A and B are shown apart, each in its own frame.
Chain A
């Protein structure tokens, strides 16, 4: 961290901005911006590993995020025993069958040498769908018809939610392995399109397999790694803490009833802030751990190798590096981090809404973060996550402010003004597009460019 003045200044400014939001809007808003900034930074670090370290273009971010979210459901939600009784065996059977078919495909791919090999694989893949449907159809129907309004799915394993983050990372890495095996040999623009489409398939599955995820009916009321507001409001230590923090303000109120009422109000408002603060601490811990590891990795021989592969693939190949394998590894690692972030996001939201996964928000916005922040630089990716998320949230109030200043004299019943105010949420897309184009043109390496590391 020698001579990294630009990094320090950038992060101090970012921190000040969030504190300003705390003073001008409210601390709850400031903390939720901070939390989502932290989650976004983890996502953009994942993408940065793929794109910045090794030049792999992954437009499937949305898919890996959804897989992380899926892991949260499968791991942390309590099981629905009735559904397991009704269709559990059918689902397990078809899962085994699917595994067998996938194994068969890989077996034929690697072992069979017949010239009809490709046709055999094709036939196997085609046959997966009807076989799966025949085996699992009745069980799926049975599961979905159990208490359809409130559950209608299998539930999960009722394990701690933090554990599900790691499972999410593993699942995402597994999907990345399969995707990578299929797609990584493709040219860069084909890879972009292919990963985008694969993430589309993942979202379709998550959205429509209701026995697994409840689909568009959403799963709500997930567990939390932080305390619940209601529990806090009823616990003595928390009330005591609030009382001591605000003691000067409370002592000014003479009326005892009013004092109690004020205290209650304070406790309610600060319990929300406290919960968000707990989340912030957890997310910050994740981000810092990740940062330390990836900085170490970048400075290790491994990081040198990855940069060599990125900058000159042929030379790296000539030096005996297995480029295909390294690409697969970094693709898996990056996707695992994205999956982890997806699990964090779903945990923080407390609900899983498959229909909300849109590529603009969950793939391309993350890309803007990486490109704006600084490709190949971890601090840049984190800064990108912060800046972009901050603009994303604060552009609506800013647009409102601008409209009101520019059209101050115009009557508020004016159609154009009303229309503009109605479409404020879309100004953020405009800002993102402009920001991306400006950065790509005038600072193609991002706000914090990659530093050349000399070991």
Chain B
């Protein structure tokens, strides 16, 4: 019984939150990695692109809600996703044509592109904060819980409850579907293969007749879809706050590099690596040990590696360790 209780405890406080958080990071990280792989720069505007996408989704959700349309138990925001995706694709392509294209054609140094992406970041950030304001926005509707802690306790007769929020399940399922489709596209279809070829070796891809304009357009479309889904899922799970997306960009970068920059599958795993370490190291295991250990060995302290204040710092520390020992990431990334 104690063993079961302890397992449920860990599932409730580590596994479920980490899977949710990891899915959000993974989606974001795949977007960053695609930009890096094809367009060859680290896009600092990505966090604010996610915020922009989520903002459009929220605005449209509000509109739908005012019309009285809803999905029942599911959040209304899911209907608004396509609109968000279209708007994000449009703004991405606009910024690509207006800003990034010039530097790409000039073959500027990647550092210049980073600096330029800062400019885009400032603009997107301002647009989002001007339109929707800097405060917290909650746009989650539908049912909040799939499984409540008390129900679970009554159902199983255990001491520990297991709570699963509907957003957590939605996040996980959406991530799995999106990533499966994406990997199918990249690995099995002709266009996906040409995209990987272009990412791998630009000159060779050009020689074999791959149209770079098409590949770049496609990349922005994929990236916008990912950004919208990732941003909306994050907003549904926590709440929408423009600056939170910027703060989330840093763990996303960490996940990208840990998984090997330019490698989508690596980014997917990287997200989960970061999420599990962050949550695993900041969780206080006291109760867990109380269940497992005999009474005389029970710990007095919290048995927590580091306090939750340092949650973000952990992902940064992982990143720095990876950069020093395996600069190409745990899964081999692009070497430029």
Q: Which residues of A contact B (CB under 8 A)?
A: 55, 57, 118, 122, 125, 129-130, 133, 182-183, 186-190, 192-194, 196-198, 200-201, 204-205, 207-208, 358-360, 364, 367-368, 371, 419-420, 422-423, 426-430, 432-434, 436-437, 440-441, 444
Is A440 a contact of B126 with CB atoms below 8 Å? no
Is A194 a contact of B317 with CB atoms below 8 Å? no
Is B323 a contact of A194 with CB atoms below 8 Å? yes
Please tell me which one of the listed residues B257, B321, B325 contacts residue A193 in the complex, with CB atoms under 8 A apart: B257
Give complex CA distance A368, B118 in Å. Answer: 9
Give complex CA distance A368, B123 in Å. Answer: 13
Is B123 a contact of A440 with CB atoms below 8 Å? no
Smallest CB–CB gap between B258 and chain A, Å?
Answer: 12
Please tell me which one of the listed residues B110, B122, B134, B320 contacts residue A432 in the complex, with CB atoms under 8 A apart: B122
Residue B91 CB within 8 A of the other chain: no
Is A430 a contact of B325 with CB atoms below 8 Å? no
Smallest CB–CB gap between B277 and chain A, Å?
Answer: 12
Give complex CA distance A7, B132 in Å. Answer: 41
Q: Whose C-beta in chain B lies nearest to the C-beta of A134? A: B301
Is A129 a contact of B306 with CB atoms below 8 Å? yes
Please tell me which one of the listed residues B109, B305, B323 contacts residue A186 in the complex, with CB atoms under 8 A apart: B323
Smallest CB–CB gap between B106 and chain A, Å?
Answer: 10
Is B111 a contact of A57 with CB atoms below 8 Å? yes
Contacts A186-B323, A194-B320 given: A360-B246 contact, CB under 8 Å? Answer: yes
Is B327 a contact of A192 with CB atoms below 8 Å? no
- B42 CB contacts on chain A under 8 angstroms: 189, 192-193
Is B323 a contact of A190 with CB atoms below 8 Å? yes
Is A197 a contact of B118 with CB atoms below 8 Å? no
Is A433 a contact of B119 with CB atoms below 8 Å? yes
Is B306 a contact of A189 with CB atoms below 8 Å? no
Is A367 a contact of B115 with CB atoms below 8 Å? yes
Is A189 a contact of B111 with CB atoms below 8 Å? yes
A-B contact pairs, 27 of them (CB 8 A): A133-B306, A182-B320, A183-B320, A186-B327, A187-B336, A188-B109, A189-B41, A190-B257, A192-B42, A192-B111, A193-B257, A194-B319, A200-B312, A201-B317, A204-B309, A208-B309, A360-B122, A360-B125, A367-B118, A426-B126, A426-B129, A429-B123, A436-B115, A436-B118, A436-B122, A437-B116, A437-B119
> What are the interface flags for B258-290 relative to A under an 8 Å C-beta threshold, 1 for contact and 0 otherwise?
000000000000000000000000000000000
Q: Whose C-beta in chain B lies nearest to the C-beta of A125? A: B321
Residue B130 CB within 8 A of the other chain: yes
Is B250 a contact of A200 with CB atoms below 8 Å? yes
Residue B57 CB within 8 A of the other chain: no
- A57 CB contacts on chain B under 8 angstroms: 111, 114
Smallest CB–CB gap between B222 and chain A, Å?
Answer: 21
Contacts A187-B336, A364-B122 given: A197-B115 contact, CB under 8 Å? Answer: no
- B131 CB contacts on chain A under 8 angstroms: 423
Q: Whose C-beta in chain B lies nearest to the C-beta of A130? A: B305
Give complex CA distance A192, B260 in Å. Answer: 16
Give complex CA distance A194, B323 in Å. Answer: 8
Residue B307 CB within 8 A of the other chain: yes
Is B316 a contact of A433 with CB atoms below 8 Å? no
- B305 CB contacts on chain A under 8 angstroms: 129-130
Contacts A189-B111, A429-B129, A437-B116 given: A197-B122 contact, CB under 8 Å? Answer: no
B-side interface size class: 35 or more
Please tell me which one of the listed residues A197, A433, A444 contacts residue B123 in the complex, with CB atoms under 8 A apart: A433
Is B118 a contact of A364 with CB atoms below 8 Å? yes
Residue B181 CB within 8 A of the other chain: no
- A360 CB contacts on chain B under 8 angstroms: 122, 125, 246
- B133 CB contacts on chain A under 8 angstroms: 419, 422-423
- B71 CB contacts on chain A under 8 angstroms: none
- A192 CB contacts on chain B under 8 angstroms: 42, 111, 114
Is B110 a contact of A189 with CB atoms below 8 Å? yes
Is A420 a contact of B130 with CB atoms below 8 Å? yes
Instruction: For the complex of A and B, list the 9 residue pairs with the smallest distance between their C-beta atoms, beginning with the closest.
Output: A433-B122, A433-B123, A429-B126, A430-B126, A197-B316, A436-B119, A437-B119, A208-B309, A426-B129
Give complex CA distance A16, B319 in Å. Answer: 48
Contacts A122-B321, A188-B110 given: A197-B307 contact, CB under 8 Å? Answer: no
- A420 CB contacts on chain B under 8 angstroms: 130
Is A197 a contact of B254 with CB atoms below 8 Å? yes
Other than the known A201-B316, A440-B116, A441-B99, what 6 A-B pairs have Cβ atoms closer than 8 Å?
A: A193-B319, A196-B250, A364-B122, A433-B120, A436-B115, A437-B116
Smallest CB–CB gap between A100 and chain B, Å?
Answer: 20
Is A189 a contact of B323 with CB atoms below 8 Å? no
Q: Whose C-beta in chain A lies nearest to the C-beta of B110? A: A189
Residue B102 CB within 8 A of the other chain: yes
Instruction: Give the interface centre of A183, A364, A426 by most chain B CB atoms within 10 Å.
Output: A426
Q: Whose C-beta in chain A lies nearest to the C-beta of B317? A: A201
Instruction: Give the interface centre of B119, B257, B323 by most chain A CB atoms within 10 Å.
Output: B119
Smallest CB–CB gap between A144 and chain B, Å?
Answer: 13
- A429 CB contacts on chain B under 8 angstroms: 122-123, 125-126, 129
- B246 CB contacts on chain A under 8 angstroms: 359-360
Q: Whose C-beta in chain A lies nearest to the C-beta of B243? A: A358
Is B310 a contact of A208 with CB atoms below 8 Å? yes
Is B122 a contact of A193 with CB atoms below 8 Å? no
Give complex CA distance A90, B116 in Å. Answer: 48
Q: Whose C-beta in chain B lies nearest to the C-beta of A137? A: B301
Give complex CA distance A305, B154 in Å. Answer: 75
Give complex CA distance A122, B321 in Å. Answer: 9
Give complex CA distance A190, B312 in Å. Answer: 18
Residue B146 CB within 8 A of the other chain: no
Task: Give B288-336 interface residues, CB cut-off 8 Å to A.
Answer: 305-307, 309-310, 312-313, 315-317, 319-321, 323-325, 327, 336
Give complex CA distance A339, B218 in Å. Answer: 44
Smallest CB–CB gap between B243 and chain A, Å?
Answer: 8
Give complex CA distance A186, B335 in Å. Answer: 12
Smallest CB–CB gap between B35 and chain A, Å?
Answer: 12
Give complex CA distance A436, B254 in Å. Answer: 26
Give complex CA distance A1, B146 in Å. Answer: 73
- B319 CB contacts on chain A under 8 angstroms: 193-194, 197
Contacts A118-B325, A441-B102 given: A430-B127 contact, CB under 8 Å? Answer: yes
- B120 CB contacts on chain A under 8 angstroms: 433, 437
Task: Give B140-171 interface residues, CB cut-off 8 Å to A.
Answer: none
- A440 CB contacts on chain B under 8 angstroms: 112, 115-116, 119
Residue B46 CB within 8 A of the other chain: no
